[in-house]
Chains A and B, each alone.
Chain A
Amino acid sequence: MGSIRQRLKAAQNRPSKPARYSAAGLLVRGARSQEWPRVWRSHDLEKSYDVVIVGGGVHGLACAYYLATNHGITNVAVLEKAYLGSGGSGRNTAIVRSNYLTAEGVAFYDRSLSLYNTMSSDLNMNVMFSERGHLTLAHTDAALRTMRWRAEVNKLQNIESTVIDPSEVKKLAPSLDVSPNTRYPILGALHHPPGGTIRHDAVVWGYARGADHRGIQMHQQTEVLDIMVEGGDGPDGKGPGGKVTGVRTNRGDISTPIVVNCTAGWATLISDMAGVKLPITTHPLQAAVTEPVKVFLPTVVVSGSLHVYVSQTDRGELVFGASVDPYATYSMKGSLEFTEELAGHVLELMPNIGRMRLLRQWAGLCDMTPDYSPVMGFTPVEGFLCDVGWGTYGFKAGPVSGEQMAEAVATQRTPKLIEPFKLERFEKGTLVGEKGAAAVGH
């Protein structure tokens, strides 16, 4: 451990002079027809790094960014097999909130939300955080009870979260049918004013730009083929008891003492390379968007019973999501039945928008765990850390996960905020209770 920490401390910091984004900058450059500098640079792969982060999505990039900003560790490579943000980071429905069910969950996501709140100025990139409020509808007494449970837990942690009645729901989202005679009557909702949406790609680019300015290298089109581990119990010296020595990629080998796995749906494929078993299965999560119409839905609406969530972008498109596909697969082909169920359920909620047209559907891969909570921190292989198991919550947790994982890497200790999410909990049988609220999704 000592050697790792010393190396991390000795990490060089290579600041660069970034061009600040601002209205004035737009005017000046516009007037002079001057170009903006590259948002991030490309590099040759070096022989060794202090830290290698696998996965160039929000989690990996945030981890890199906070390693540099909070801990001065910059000899870091982020390896991305496609382009930055090509996985779940660019495929999610960009909803953020902190109204979780468990105290652990609330504390964690609240930190994430506060990082999102100041992100535009922190990263000097407008991530267009739209704090438009978040409604989780209840169609049954049981769901209403769960909403109240969440609200009460939230209130005790000073999170704005209240259960409201159908007439208040109608005021916040006039397009919803709150009449009592529908198949799924809206009996009330959990209202979470701080929740909202954000421009997911901007979060990716903002972290990448910030990391680049601080000397961290992002390598796109760089696929990890193997992780070198010595001294472990398993075949080839991998597995528990082993120690990470390097990474093999399609662009060459790298030696490194620390590998952080931030690969969401591909998490087990990467952890298999180190000989670490995970309680994760990969399921696609599909989403869809309609053609734009003039804005009529001012808030985020979620219905757990109907497995749907919807928000309207500033461009006027409705963005929809649902629950993960029923069977494990790495295929992201998407399905017709997803759009059928989705449309049927949306029309139960908003019967008057049948004329809107679905424009595009897509899928991302989710890393589902048995308790709908992540697997974070150290593993039985020294130097191999995980930030995975996010399921459908990964985007919301991006900033705080990066921050906490960076702290874990830098201090070689598990930060308190992620203590409940350690891999060991599965062996001990102490699962996190977020499962209680899992049925209500986003």
Chain B
Amino acid sequence: MTRLPRQPGEVIDRSVPLRFTWNGKATTGFSGDTIASALAASDTRIFARSMKYHRPRGLLTADYWDPNGFVQVGDDPNVRSGHRLLEAGMEVSAQNVWPSLDFDIKAANGLVGRFLTAGFYYKTFMKPAKLWPTYEKVLARFAPGGTIDLDSPHRYHDKRYAHPDVVVAGGGPAGMAAAIAAASVGASVMLVEHNHHLGGALLWGTDVDRATGARLAAECMTSENIEVLLDSTVTGRYEDNWVAIVQRSHPIAVERLIKARAKSLVVAPGLIERPYVFAGNDKPGVMLSGAVRRLVNMYAVQPGSRAVVFTANDDGDQTARDLERVGIEVACTVDARRGENIVAAEGSTKSVESVVLGDGSSIDADLLITAVGWTAPTSLLNLAGDRPAYDPAAARFFSSRLPDNILVTGGLAGDGSLDELIEHGSATGNLAARRALVVAATLQKLTTRAAPLAGDPGEVPADDRAPLGRNPHPELHRSSTHGIVDYSEDVSSKDLFAAAKEGYDSVELIKRFTTATMGPAQGKLETVNTVAVLAEARGETIADVGTTVWRPPYAPITLGALGGRIFEPVRVSTVQSWHEAHNATPILAGQWIRPEHYGDPVGEVRNVRSGVGIIDVTPLGKLDLQGPDVPKLLNLLYTNKWVQLPIGGVRYGVMCAEDGVVMDDGVTARLGEQHYLMTTTSSGAGGVWEWAENWLQTAHPDWRVHVTPVTTAYTSINVAGPKSRELVSRLTDIDLDPQAFAYMQVRTGTVAGIDKCVMWRIGFTGELSYELHVPSGFGLHVWDTLMDVGADLGVAPFGLEAQRVMRLEKGHFIVGQDTDGLTKMPSVGMNGLIKLDKDDFSGKVELGLALDHTASLALPRLVAIQTTDPNIVPEEASQIVRAGTNEILGRITSSRMSPTLERSICLGQVLPEAAEPDTILTVVMTTGERITAKVMQHHAHFDPEGDRLRV
């Protein structure tokens, strides 16, 4: 093919040549060319090889949907060459060819094609079974598609939300008219056009077509109410008109996803021309009329030198006129409306050389053009629950039922002159806008924060449009010969017949069995012919067979665009900058970034046990509780009793879900007459808040309790160790005398000059400790001050790891680590905290049943465990088995080497039979080695009486 003289409708800029490479060879095109048009203009005839038989393939539709037009561009696989605009320096190569496009070894498959019927692989490669993996590797070699470059950088993608009144999908004449009409009644409109120019089929039409298109396009581009999105596609229409739009050309991002809540959606994608099934229909040189008209009129490319035109409609006729206009010989026009037909394209595998007609005659030609009708791309309508119905008179599907917020115009709605299409588009846009304005008013009325609506939203306007007509069109799907139905999947009509005869005779089964319509075009070209061939095989009509369901997206969308800028919030405490400056090793705990340790967790433990350490425990969940009914709420949430907690007191509690499973634990302090501060686990903070609100809002709306999360209102610092009292006393006005401020008490006062600090004496580490809750804006100041004034005491920070070791030394369980999704409260050894004499609490019924003797016997128990060999630390999750067997009796839930005891210590869950103190357990190490260990008397390995806490 070569470039024609300047064409009146050409979109290329001949003054801007662009150099690129095709399979490594330097080639040139023009600005405005697609990759395909540039290649075609430089005499490229073979673009790809087919998936299964590796037959040479040339352009078929020369647009986005061309099944033969896939190329690799740099590190971008599966680029639609009929759509992607040429850029200077592009490295374009053919895909799915080995060793080269022109000489392809796998094409040998073509010779044995008769044996490789659809689904052949289900019937073979079964024996010997050992060889299947080898067969599988061979099959995988035939995987179509381009190549992913695993070194390719992650590019910047973007997303935005939008709330337009009307989204118009499709910028052809009807779509443009709809957008203009909607905008003119005050609606905000997004006009989304798949291609690079507004105009649709007008772009390759007559002078009048192009002039009309240009006028409408100019109006759209200049309207204040219309946002025109070119090279963009409405890829999906989800519930309540949640419309996904992918914007492929955007200055700041490779692709941008727009999520639009459209009040009305106008669907006007036009029609997609359908191939014809006959022998040789995939030879290079067989093209659809649209491809030829695009190439000739938009890109001034000569698609061949001598053509046969098989036409059933005006588009085919116009194609013949276009060819004649540019001087390409039309050897023969075969008119389906006169009952004429074509039966085969003959020639080499690389090109059409002649065309066999229905009467048996043969005509030499290197170009065979078919114009046999259209597929209605009803994808967006399907997503709204539509089931398109087939109209045999018009030879295509039409929508049958749609919600009010979707309107169809253009070719999807019917046929008509250009004026009639524009008029229908206009009426559709007007109706869409009027309906949208009702929805907008309804939304405004229902939305509390919105401006008050003057008047009533009104009724949804009825559909008052004059419908488009439907032109009669012959039903042309398959000639008397067999040919390719699905080009991407290499499925022929013969395959479909065979599959139907074998029993895969419903549209979904045949699709699954043959993979027809499963390729990159997702049936845009293939579905109707597949259905037609199946109908033929079943001796039924297309309407009987029905169609397959189109699934989103309408056009493929990159993972990058869908992922967008990835929002992954992270949370840090006020002291984080200090931690970073002091080489803390970070650990991610949910959204929080926390210090795991500062280089020497063992040293950190020893420092706390012997002197004083400070840890940033800000992520600890904190809830401010106020009101006269707080004790009622606490009684309901915790299993123990809360009515008599004095002001200044702190109490520990466990929360269970209604099934009795432990869900959280923590301490709650009473700060004032009606004022409490609750702590939760770090990961449980959000859940406990919602849990409390759920009880208050749904079960006890009469209770007067206000719950406010204050987790990060405070920077929380635990000062722990025998010298902690000395350290804290240097910077607070609170009386720390053990008589005045005992274990499990709370005080408020000033710390390091900061007022309104809350301080309580508790001891997760097992040491004398003060937990300071400091208003966050001063958290770093207090931390710095502690480090400064405690320097002589040897104060040092400690991280999460040291805290974990110390809590394990003390035998404190961690919810979610030492318990699991089925651990009921009696398993953790705190039956004393279950108060069944309370009127009600969450989990009461199940805990009552669990405490029943027989039931509780079956529950596993949490016990402290020490290995016989003190130097062996079994990994967490090591299993505990019955000696000499593989029967599981439990597992190690926590384990560490204790720097304090200088031996291995564990917590574990075991069945009751193995839970008695001094039971010798068999622990299976992850290496498989079996060791012994002993169940301990107390959960606490260290200081079981808690003397160190109470000093």
Q: Do A and B bind each other?
A: yes
CB pair B125–A39 under 8 Å, yes or no, is: no
Q: How far, in whole Å, are A183 and B114 apart by their CA atoms in the complex?
A: 52
Say whether, besides A291-B145, A353-B559, A30 and B117 are in contact (CB < 8 Å).
yes
Q: Which residues of A contact B568 (CB under 8 A)?
A: 183
CB pair A90–B148 under 8 Å, yes or no, is: no
Q: Residue B879 at the A interface, CB < 8 A?
A: yes
CB pair B822–A83 under 8 Å, yes or no, is: no
Q: How far, in whole Å, are A27 and B502 apart by their CA atoms in the complex?
A: 17
CB pair B562–A340 under 8 Å, yes or no, is: yes
By beta carbon, the residue of chain A nearest B117 is: A30
CB pair B879–A25 under 8 Å, yes or no, is: no
CB B231 to nearest CB in A, in angstroms, measures 15
Q: How far, in whole Å, are A149 and B888 apart by their CA atoms in the complex?
A: 12
Q: How far, in whole Å, are A438 and B820 apart by their CA atoms in the complex?
A: 11
CB A43 to nearest CB in B, in angstroms, measures 13
Q: How far, in whole Å, are A313 and B512 apart by their CA atoms in the complex?
A: 15
Q: Which of A342, A353, A436 has the most CB of B within 10 A?
A: A353
CB pair A83–B506 under 8 Å, yes or no, is: yes
Q: How far, in whole Å, are A199 and B568 apart by their CA atoms in the complex?
A: 35
By beta carbon, the residue of chain B nearest A146 is: B877
Q: Residue A411 at the B interface, CB < 8 A?
A: no
Q: How far, in whole Å, are A140 and B587 apart by their CA atoms in the complex?
A: 9
Return the CB mask of A139-160 against B: 1 if under 8 Å, else 0.
Answer: 1111001101101110111000
Within 8 A of A (CB), among B390-415: none
Q: Residue A250 at the B interface, CB < 8 A?
A: no
Q: Which residues of B contact A340 (CB under 8 A)?
A: 159, 257, 562-564
Q: Which residues of A contact B144 (CB under 8 A)?
A: 292, 315-316
CB pair B126–A359 under 8 Å, yes or no, is: no
Q: How far, in whole Å, are A31 and B113 apart by their CA atoms in the complex?
A: 11
Q: Which residues of A contact B115 (CB under 8 A)?
A: 26-27, 30-31
Q: Which residues of B contact A334 (CB under 8 A)?
A: 238, 551-552
CB pair A152–B891 under 8 Å, yes or no, is: yes
Q: Which residues of B contact A344 (CB under 8 A)?
A: 562-564, 566
By beta carbon, the residue of chain B nearest A370 is: B659
CB pair A347–B148 under 8 Å, yes or no, is: no
CB pair A358–B553 under 8 Å, yes or no, is: yes
CB pair A39–B503 under 8 Å, yes or no, is: yes
CB A431 to nearest CB in B, in angstroms, measures 6
Q: Residue B797 at the A interface, CB < 8 A?
A: no
CB pair A155–B126 under 8 Å, yes or no, is: no
Q: Residue A361 at the B interface, CB < 8 A?
A: yes
CB contact between A435 and one of B513, B821, B878 (< 8 Å): that residue: B821
Q: Which residues of B contact A331 (CB under 8 A)?
A: 239
Say whether, besides A347-B566, A355-B560, A153 and B148 are in contact (CB < 8 Å).
no
CB A439 to nearest CB in B, in angstroms, measures 9
CB pair B123–A294 under 8 Å, yes or no, is: no
Stretch at the interface among A57-65, A118-126, A253-261: A118-126
Q: How far, in whole Å, are A282 and B509 apart by their CA atoms in the complex?
A: 25
CB B596 to nearest CB in A, in angstroms, measures 9
CB pair B512–A436 under 8 Å, yes or no, is: no
Q: How far, in whole Å, are A427 and B276 apart by their CA atoms in the complex?
A: 62
Return the CB mask of B554-566 against A: 1 if under 8 Å, else 0.
Answer: 0011111111101
- Count residues on chain B whose CB falls below 8 Å from chain A CBs: 98
CB pair B928–A355 under 8 Å, yes or no, is: no
CB pair A174–B150 under 8 Å, yes or no, is: yes
CB pair B143–A295 under 8 Å, yes or no, is: yes
CB pair B132–A120 under 8 Å, yes or no, is: yes
CB pair B154–A352 under 8 Å, yes or no, is: yes
Q: How far, in whole Å, are A387 and B106 apart by their CA atoms in the complex?
A: 46
Q: How far, in whole Å, are A168 and B149 apart by their CA atoms in the complex?
A: 21
Q: How far, in whole Å, are A35 and B498 apart by their CA atoms in the complex?
A: 7
Q: Residue A429 at the B interface, CB < 8 A?
A: yes
CB A327 to nearest CB in B, in angstroms, measures 12
Q: Residue A47 at the B interface, CB < 8 A?
A: no
CB contact between B239 and one of A220, A335, A352 (< 8 Å): that residue: A335
Return the CB mask of B430-449 against A: 1 if under 8 Å, else 0.
Answer: 00000000000000000000
Return the CB mask of A416-442 against B: 1 if under 8 Å, else 0.
Answer: 000000000000011101011010000
Return the CB mask of A186-213 against B: 1 if under 8 Å, else 0.
Answer: 0000000000000101100100000000
Q: How far, in whole Å, are A69 and B123 apart by their CA atoms in the complex?
A: 21
Say whether, besides A348-B566, A431-B822, A354 and B558 are in contact (CB < 8 Å).
yes
CB pair A335–B152 under 8 Å, yes or no, is: no
Return the CB mask of B507-540 against A: 1 if under 8 Å, else 0.
Answer: 0110011000000101000000000000000000
Stretch at the interface among A5-13, A128-136, A393-401: A128-136
Q: How far, in whole Å, are A96 and B140 apart by their CA atoms in the complex?
A: 20
Say whether, besides A90-B512, A340-B562, A152 and B877 are in contact (CB < 8 Å).
yes
CB contact between A359 and one of B132, B257, B556 (< 8 Å): that residue: B556
Q: How far, in whole Å, are A344 and B259 apart by their CA atoms in the complex?
A: 16
CB contact between A292 and one of B143, B257, B858 (< 8 Å): that residue: B143
Q: How far, in whole Å, are A292 and B570 apart by their CA atoms in the complex?
A: 35
By beta carbon, the residue of chain A nearest B885 is: A156
CB A164 to nearest CB in B, in angstroms, measures 12
CB A155 to nearest CB in B, in angstroms, measures 7
Say whether, besides A38-B501, A131-B133, A293-B148, A357 and B125 are in contact (CB < 8 Å).
no
Say whether, besides A121-B129, A342-B562, A344-B563, A156 and B924 are in contact (CB < 8 Å).
yes
Q: How far, in whole Å, are A144 and B570 apart by their CA atoms in the complex?
A: 21
Q: Residue B146 at the A interface, CB < 8 A?
A: yes
CB A426 to nearest CB in B, in angstroms, measures 11
CB B826 to nearest CB in A, in angstroms, measures 13
CB pair A354–B559 under 8 Å, yes or no, is: yes
Say whether, besides A22-B123, A120-B132, A291 and B926 are in contact (CB < 8 Å).
no
CB pair A356–B558 under 8 Å, yes or no, is: yes
By beta carbon, the residue of chain B nearest A183 is: B568
Say whether, besides A361-B551, A362-B551, A296 and B512 are in contact (CB < 8 Å).
no
By beta carbon, the residue of chain B nearest A315 is: B143
Q: How far, in whole Å, are A84 and B568 apart by their CA atoms in the complex?
A: 42
CB contact between B876 and one of A86, A145, A346 (< 8 Å): that residue: A145
CB pair B154–A39 under 8 Å, yes or no, is: no
CB pair B152–A336 under 8 Å, yes or no, is: no
By beta carbon, the residue of chain A nearest B498 is: A35
CB A284 to nearest CB in B, in angstroms, measures 12
CB pair B502–A358 under 8 Å, yes or no, is: no
Q: Residue A3 at the B interface, CB < 8 A?
A: no
Q: Which residues of B contact A435 (CB under 8 A)?
A: 820-822
Q: Which residues of B contact A348 (CB under 8 A)?
A: 566
Q: Which residues of B contact A142 (CB under 8 A)?
A: 816-817
Contacts A155-B924, A294-B148 supplied; 20 other A-B pairs, CB < 8 Å: A21-B123, A120-B126, A121-B126, A125-B123, A125-B126, A126-B124, A127-B122, A139-B588, A140-B589, A163-B926, A202-B122, A333-B239, A333-B383, A336-B236, A340-B563, A344-B563, A347-B154, A355-B152, A357-B558, A358-B557
A-B contact pairs, 20 of them (CB 8 A): A23-B125, A31-B114, A85-B512, A125-B123, A140-B588, A151-B926, A152-B878, A156-B924, A183-B568, A205-B513, A292-B144, A293-B145, A335-B238, A340-B562, A340-B564, A343-B559, A344-B562, A354-B154, A355-B559, A360-B552
Binding site for B on A (CB under 8 A): 21-23, 25-27, 30-31, 33, 35-41, 82-86, 90, 103, 118, 120-121, 124-131, 139-142, 145-146, 148-149, 151-153, 155-157, 163, 174-175, 183-185, 199, 201-202, 205, 220, 290-296, 313-316, 331, 333-336, 339-340, 342-348, 351-362, 371, 429-431, 433, 435-436, 438
